[in-house]
Structure 1
Amino acid sequence: MDLGERRGLETNVYQPAEDSELLAEAVCERLSSDSGSGDENGRTVLEVGTGSGYVAGRIAEETNARVIASDLNPHAVRQAREKGLEAVRADLVSPFVDCAFDVVTFNPPYLPTDPDSEWDDWMEHALSGGEDGRAIIDPFLESVDRVLAPDGTVYLLVSSLTDVDAVVERAGQEGFSAAAIADHSFPFETLTVLELFR
């Protein structure tokens, strides 16, 4: 791949930022502590919306879980595969079989965006959460239960800009209990990792 192609991938694919780091650290810590002995053999993890593959890569490196990365963006899938990850193009969890994953992680597009300000490209898909910031979160919460194993867990990154209480309430409507397991505050928002379980 030449430099021009590399730059094209990077401008079309969400690159790691503070939210990626927070989610990766929280999930890796939980997977390690939940296993007791540190043996996660047999666990299968899906990262929805993998972007560059940063979070999926950290989980694959720091745990023994099998990690599948997915994204709607074909540029993101390509970048994740270049990092050696199992990556597939998918709209949320639609192509996956029932009860396939022990863990599902998601750093969704969560920035509230005025419809008149949207710019209709792959970076918008990675960032824009619609008018309330939950345009992708709500359909994810409606569908993720189907692909979770019976004792499965979801790790969802949310922002105070999207109204965390509204996300927790929606998760409850879909049969999940929620616990905040990590957060990081900035002058303009607080990022929180929610652990969702039945």
Structure 2
Amino acid sequence: MGLEDRRAQEPDVYQPAEDSHLLAEAACERLERGDLVLEVGTGSGYVAHQIADETGARVIASDLNPHAVRQARSAGVETVRADLVSPFRDGAFDAVVFNPPYLPTDPENEWDDWMERALSGGEDGRAVIDPFLADVGRVLAPDGSVSLLVSSLTGVDEVVEEAGEHGFSAVAVADESFPFETLTVLELFR
């Protein structure tokens, strides 16, 4: 079944795009067999599936969207419905991977459905990223890391600064430029 066919079947689920491919590739280069990985906001389950297939790591995926949880599970991804990292145990994961909603959106133009939640990062693009950064350290093992995709539209420097306020150092490990934005994968570590 092609990507367009899947989109027609699951219009309420974010399907793999350039950002998904960039994040999956960057994460796979840093993970290995035996790692326990959490993918937050899994959408279709593409990134989690790629990581598990290419590295042999065990991946737990989560999403707030019940349609996404269903689609990811049907793709064979171990998935739970969760808001960011809230239900997970302290120190449980070797790595956390996240392609957050990052598009800056004027509140008057929000459309209040599952796709809007998958795409809109609020007025500055960081409405989901900032709370994630505030809590993700709790679920990481002591030497754990985070792979976080950000857009130039969101402000990479602002995300790095916010990460620093929560005890993380950040290194850009991959990026890809498009006519309207540059996507960057940050690796965050303590």
Q: Give the alignment's TM-score, normalised by structure 1.
A: 0.91
Q: Counterpart amino acid of 2:13? A: V
Distance 1:139 1:9, change over 3 A: farther
Partner of 2:91, secondary structure, is: coil
Shift of 1:114: 0.2
In structure 1, the partner of 2:61 is: 69
CA distances 1:88-143 after superposition (whole Å, capped 9, x unpaired)? 00000001010010000000000000000000000000000000000000000000
Which residue of 1 is the match for residue 52 of structure 2? 60
Paired letter, 1:111: L
Q: How does 1:1-198 map to 2 (within 5 A)?
A: 9-32=9-32, 40-41=33-34, 43-198=35-190
Structure 2: how far apart are the matches of 1:9 and 1:53?
15
Return closer, same or farther for 1:158/1:7 CA change in 2, 3 Å cut-off. closer
C-alpha distance in structure 1 between counterparts of 2:7 and 2:15, whole Å = 12
Cα deviation, 1:16-42, whole Å, max 9, x if unaligned, reads 00000000000001125xxxxxxx22x
- Judged with a 3 Å threshold, the aligned counterparts in structure 2 of structure 1 residues 8 and 90 are, in CA distance, closer, same or farther, namely farther
Q: Identical aligned pairs, as a percentage?
A: 78
- Listed one character per residue, the Cα deviations across residues 65-92 of structure 1 (whole Å, up to 9, x for unaligned) are 1100100000000000001111000000
Tell which deviates more after alignment, 8-17 or 175-184: 8-17
Give unmatched runs, 5+ long, in structure 1: 1-5, 33-39
Q: Is the 8 A contact 1:22 1:183 kept in 2?
A: yes
Aligned-partner residue type, residue 169 of structure 2 = S
Count residues with an aligned counterpart: 185
Q: Is the 8 A contact 1:9 1:75 kept in 2?
A: no
**1:9 deviation in Å?**
4.9
Q: For structure 2, which runs of at least 5 residues remain unmatched after alignment?
A: 1-5
**TM score, norm. by length of structure 2:** 0.95
The structure having more radius of gyration, on CA atoms, is 1
Task: Give the superposed CA RMSD.
Answer: 1.0
User: Any conservation in 2 of the 1:185–1:191 contact (CA below 8 Å)?
Assistant: yes
